[in-house]
Amino acid sequence: MTKRVFIRTLGCQMNDRDSEALVGIFLDKGYILTEDINQADVILVNTCSVRKHAEDRAISFLGSIRKVIESRSPKNNSLLPIVGLIGCMARSRGEEIFKKMPHVNLICSSAMLYKVPEYAEKILKGYKERIIDLEDSKREEWFYHSHFRFDKNHAYVVISTGCSNYCSYCVVPYVRGELRLRDPQDIIEEVKRNISLGIKKITLLGQNVNDYHYLYGDNYSGVRIFAGEETKNKNIFSFIDLLKELDKIDGIEEIDFITSHPKNTSRDLFYLMANSEKIKKHLHLPFQSGSDRILKLMNRGYTKEKYISLVEDFKMIVKGTLSTDVIVGFPTETEEDFLHTKDILEKVKFKYAYIFKYSLRQNTEAAKLEDDVSKDEKERRHRILLELQKRLSLSI
Ligand code: SAH
Ligand code: SF4
Ligand code: F3S
């Protein structure tokens, strides 16, 4: 009988794309995608660890799956489903959940997602009872090869996985691993595959797209791409080179990308954005805090003044819109620090701002600092910024 796979995705666009690629592999193996969890042979929860709230949601969903299983097995005698906790939480909470939730029989890290269909088959066939794989290594390129797309008009294309920036509050480098780059040729081919499917809009995904610097090295055996005369070092293919190559592809109507880290977002990128008809004139540029002291504690690598000056150049050169991420209540954040954050929101006037309350993440550098801004105070600062941003968004 045809088997059915159900997937619930929590977290960011990276996870949306990972779930899509994974579903594609299941479909290629003959599975059907179902939205009815009661019918599923394989139930997957693709998780996020970035804040406690995201982890709590996944744990409560995994708990609710136990009821689905209990209502199923004795009555209709059907096989028990695979219940998989996959993605970012595998490495932060996987071992604990494996011990505490016996009905979760598959745990797989974000790097090893391409193995999930193989692991599911092993369990379904009875070769193994439970599998946990928390490895962090480079993904196999074929993970991205399925033609399946949730959206027929727009595609996410991963350019890198992981992150090596180690912002002090952030769990991503620990759960997604070190920064790893896809080969430029593989990215370009994936974009072309999307275009041949009729997709016209592409969003490139990387935790910090500016970190994309592909080193060809002397023994590189693939197709070397050189993005034009301006490229100074012929052995390096940068994010700007990648954009220039994609800009040349017929059939693309819109290219955008997330996320850009202010510490290495360059004016060269702005000139390219200004001169391209295809690159969307919008930049997601998270500033996190307006206080130089807090920015230093966050290990962000820029100051309030540098951020404002970058934004002024963006507005002058690209004449586009901006969005951002902000954290309130980072350890030791005072009212004065907070007012600097508020000041950036007022000065820059973002189209959107995603405002978060600091959430302590185990193993991060910031976890060594006392989480000393009270819950009430975090909520007050969060509310003030949300209300301010609501007014500002309306004026743009
Ligand atoms: N790589 C991207 C996105 C990282 S996660 C970037 O660097 O911008 C998305 C957002 O979640 C971050 O920008 C930050 O604002 C927020 N975030 C990350 N860790 C957090 C934490 N421990 N507490 C609260 N918000 C956090
Ligand atoms: Fe986290 Fe910083 Fe990397 Fe973004 S750039 S994923 S905030 S460590
Ligand atoms: Fe994304 Fe959450 Fe992982 S923000 S990278 S799904 S920790």
> Residue 73: what pLDDT?
59
Relative to the CA of 172, which ligand 3 atom is closest? 7
Relative to the CA of 288, which ligand 2 atom is closest? 7
Q: What are the distances in angstroms from CA 281 to CA 70, 155, 274?
A: 51, 18, 7
Report yes or no on whether pTM surpasses 0.85.
yes
CA atoms within 13 A on the CB side of 118: 8
Residue 159 CA to its chain's centroid (Å): 11
> Residue 311: what pLDDT?
98
The alpha carbon torsion through 127, 129, 134, 138 (nearest 10 deg) reads 20
Ligand 2 pocket list (CB less than 6 A): 163, 165-167, 170, 172-173, 207-208, 261
Give me the DSSP letters along 97-138.
Answer: HHHH-TT--EEE-STTGGGHHHHHHHHHTTS-S-EEE----P
Residue 119, pLDDT above cutoff 60:
yes
Instruction: Determine the residue of 13, 14, 284 to mutate for testing ligand 3's pocket, defined as the one with the most ligand atoms within 8 A of the Cβ atom.
Output: 14
> Residue 382: what pLDDT?
98
Instruction: Determine the residue of 307, 325, 369 to mutate for testing ligand 1's pocket, defined as the one with the most ligand atoms within 8 A of the Cβ atom.
Output: 325
φ, ψ for residue 318, nearest 5 deg: -90, -30
Residue 72, pLDDT above cutoff 80:
no
Number of H helices, E strands in the chain: 12, 16
> Residue 42: what pLDDT?
97
Residue 322 CA to its chain's centroid (Å): 19
Using DSSP's 3-state secondary structure scheme, residue 9 falls into strand
Q: What is the pLDDT of residues 255-314, one digit of tens each?
A: 999 999 999 999 999 999 999 999 999 999 999 999 999 999 999 999 999 999 999 999
> Residue 20: what pLDDT?
98
Residue 257 CA to ligand 3 center (angstroms) comes to 16
* E strand map for 216-288: 236-238, 254-258, 282-284
Residue 359 CA to ligand 1 center (angstroms) comes to 10
Relative to the CA of 207, which ligand 3 atom is closest? 5
Relative to the CA of 258, which ligand 1 atom is closest? 2
> Looking at residues 40-44, what average pLDDT do you find?
96
Q: Is 389 in the pocket of ligand 3 (CB under 6 A)?
A: no
> Looking at residues 218-240, what average pLDDT do you find?
74
Strand partners, 324: 353
Instruction: Determine the residue of 9, 10, 15 to mutate for testing ligand 3's pocket, defined as the one with the most ligand atoms within 8 A of the Cβ atom.
Output: 15
Residue 222, pLDDT above cutoff 90:
no
Radius of gyration of the chain (CA): 22
Q: What is the mean pLDDT of the chain?
A: 94
Q: What is the pLDDT of residues 322-380, one digit of tens each?
A: 999 999 999 999 999 999 999 999 999 999 999 999 999 999 999 999 999 999 999 99
Q: Which domains does the chain have, with CATH numbers?
A: 4-133 (3.40.50.12160), 151-255 (3.30.750.210), 281-396 (3.30.750.200)
**Nearest CA, atom 14, ligand 1:** 325
